Chain A
Amino acid sequence: QVQLQQSGPGLVRPSQTLSLTCVISGDSVSSNSVAWNWIRQSPSRGLEWLGRTYYRSKWYNDYAEYMKGRISVSPDTSQNQFSLQLNFVTPEDTAVYYCAREVIGEKYSSWYDPWGQGTQVTVSS
């Protein structure tokens, strides 16, 4: 059974960096059949995909277009985990952040299972 356990601070100051970690059990961050994602949820914007990392003979990343330049998702093979860094945060980045495994199906279709428990992150001074 795959489980994802998130950790990281719940309060981040404006213009600082948001950093979260997701520890994987029951699967490998280096698996070549899944991807490892960060998704956030807020009342105003709903569920938003942020970015992912995955291994296919080498490491790849994809990011939401509106996040490019501010976001980094990186694997840590030694700890079997992956992390999110979001720079220059503003109050609009206040949300619940989730990590999730992306299962790849036919024709590169995909869905998310399982999800981490979620981390409420508030951006405030």
Chain B
Amino acid sequence: DIQMTQSPSSVSASVGDRVTITCRAGQGVSRWLAWYQQKPGKAPRLLIYAASTLQSGVPSRFWGSGSGTEFTLTISNLQPEDFGTYYCQQGDGLPRTFGQGTHLEIK
């Protein structure tokens, strides 16, 4: 299985800040990486797929980049509703695997 490692495990930031979350794959996954946002008691929500393609309805302040083994999710102009836990998921090898999550707290 392809191991996915996220950093940091948690981050605290203020409204208006820019936040970057990193996801590293245990082996190359080309650009086949997705990002999800999860809020307490809710299911994950797809934000970005194919490393940089924004899912319909997702604000443009979310931005993804990377390929191979290293990927980043950047949230610019942080908003109060951006709190939650963010997960990466590789979509290349089977079984699909997820990172352990990055908890984002709004100061």
Contact = CB atoms under 8 A, between A and B. Distances in A.
Chains A and B are bound partners:
yes
Interface of A: 46-49, 62, 64-65, 98, 100, 103, 105-107, 109-118
30 contacts: A46-B99, A46-B100, A46-B101, A47-B44, A47-B87, A47-B89, A47-B98, A49-B96, A49-B97, A62-B94, A64-B95, A65-B95, A98-B43, A98-B44, A105-B32, A105-B49, A105-B50, A105-B91, A107-B32, A109-B50, A109-B91, A110-B32, A110-B91, A111-B91, A112-B36, A112-B46, A112-B89, A113-B49, A115-B43, A118-B42
A117 B43 contact: yes
A63 B80 CA distance: 39
Given A46-B100, A105-B49, A115 B44 contact: yes
Contacts, number: 60
Interface of B: 30, 32, 34, 36, 42-46, 49-50, 55, 87, 89, 91-92, 94-101
A119 to B, nearest CB: 10
Nearest to B48: A111
A111 B49 contact: yes
